[in-house]
């Protein structure tokens, strides 16, 4: 059983790219994960992971080892779980903005990877009753402090000032001076974090109040001003040219994206496949950004 724990630790680091995130997923300390990895590498006589500026990355041997063990370890984990009877689809609750900007453009790859998997996506801004309702798992953005929830960190979120090309053109040289931007108020007061200790004027006052990510992004696309956009949400608009960035400075939000499920409910047979695919998609993003 100790060997399985070592393999699970290796796979967790490979998925998350971080000793800290892997430790959170496994409910142990980062030093415990590091110790397990050292023991595994000593036993195999090979270096599986290396440190990079962006976290932990697989070596060539590590990638080959991961490809060999992922399916067997997943099968062992499933075999050790009790039978739950006839299963319905894996129902995943997702925030609307995250579904449209991040999940849906990728979901075809999950379908190609797991053609027999039955999955239902439900969009909701509220955390569903994962212990008793029909929702099996959820993708959520927050502090990770939900009660009775088993969670796996997926990735951090960053914010960056964005505006429509028309607004940038109208500002002219003022676009280079953040204090002159027609900034829309941010409900989380992230402008204060972005400017730090600099003294700047107040954000543009408007008769319209916007309190959610989607509305703020739409406001920016429609030329209402400069907003601090969550990169995960604004990335499609940046790629299409509907929005442009006004600065190279990004700030990390105190919240993260998580995959969550109830601690008190048997795991759906499709969940490990969906979890593994999500982490692979995150690794794909990291590789593209490198």
Q: Give me the chain's average pLDDT, please.
A: 82
Average pLDDT over residues 224-244: 91
What is the Cα–Cα distance from 63 to 216, expressed in whole angstroms?
A: 40
pTM (predicted TM-score): 0.66
pLDDT for residue 84: 47
Angle at CA of residue 179, ends 175 and 183, nearest 5°: 75
Read off the pLDDT of residues 157-172 as tens digits, 9 standing for 90 and up: 999 999 999 999 999 9
* Residue 245 dihedral angles phi and psi, to the nearest 5°: -85, 145
Report the chain's terminal Cα–Cα distance, integer Å: 36
What is the Cα–Cα distance from 127 to 143, expressed in whole angstroms?
A: 13
Taking 3-state DSSP, the helix, strand and coil percentages for the chain, each rounded to the nearest 5, stand at 45, 20, 35
Categorize the per-residue pLDDT at 264 as very low, low, confident or very high, splitting at 50, 70 and 90. confident
The DSSP code sequence of 42-103 is: HHHTS--EEEETTEEEE-HHHHHHHHHHHHHHHHHHHHTSPP--S---EEEEE-HHHIIIII
Share above pLDDT 70 across residues of the chain, in percent, rounded to a whole number: 87
Q: Which of 128-137, 148-157, 271-280 has the lowest mean pLDDT?
A: 128-137
Average pLDDT over residues 260-276: 86
**Given a cut of 50, is residue 81 above it in pLDDT?**
yes
Average pLDDT over residues 190-198: 76
Average pLDDT over residues 105-112: 91
């Amino acid at each position: 059983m100790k060997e399985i724990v070592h393999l699970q630790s290796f796979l967790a680091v490979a998925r998350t790219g971080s000793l800290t995130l892997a430790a959170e997923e496994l409910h142990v300390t980062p030093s415990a994960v590091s110790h397990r990895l050292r023991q595994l590498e000593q036993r195999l006589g090979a270096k599986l992971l290396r440190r990079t500026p962006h976290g932990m990355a697989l070596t060539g041997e590590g990638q080959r080892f991961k490809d060999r063990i992922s399916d067997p370890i997943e099968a062992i984990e499933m075999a050790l779980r009790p039978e739950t009877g006839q299963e319905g689809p894996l129902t995943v609750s997702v925030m609307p903005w995250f579904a449209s900007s991040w999940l849906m453009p990728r979901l075809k790859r999950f379908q190609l990877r797991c053609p027999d998997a039955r999955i239902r996506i439900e969009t909701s801004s509220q955390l569903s009753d994962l212990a008793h309702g029909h929702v099996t798992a959820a993708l959520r953005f927050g502090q990770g402090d939900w009660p009775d929830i088993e969670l796996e960190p997926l990735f951090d979120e960053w914010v960056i000032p964005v505006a429509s090309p028309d607004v940038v053109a109208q500002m002219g040289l003022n676009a280079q001076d953040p204090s002159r931007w027609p900034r829309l108020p941010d409900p989380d007061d992230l402008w204060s974090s972005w400017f730090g200790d600099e003294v700047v004027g107040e954000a543009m006052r408007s008769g319209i109040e916007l309190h959610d990510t989607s509305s703020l992004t739409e406001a920016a696309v429609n030329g209402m001003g400069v907003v601090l956009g969550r990169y995960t949400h604004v990335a499609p608009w940046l790629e299409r040219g509907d929005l442009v960035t006004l600065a190279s400075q990004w700030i990390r939000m105190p919240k993260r994206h998580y995959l969550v499920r109830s601690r008190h409910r048997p795991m759906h047979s499709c969940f490990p496949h969906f979890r593994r695919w999500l982490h692979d998609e995150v690794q794909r993003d990291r590789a593209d950004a490198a």
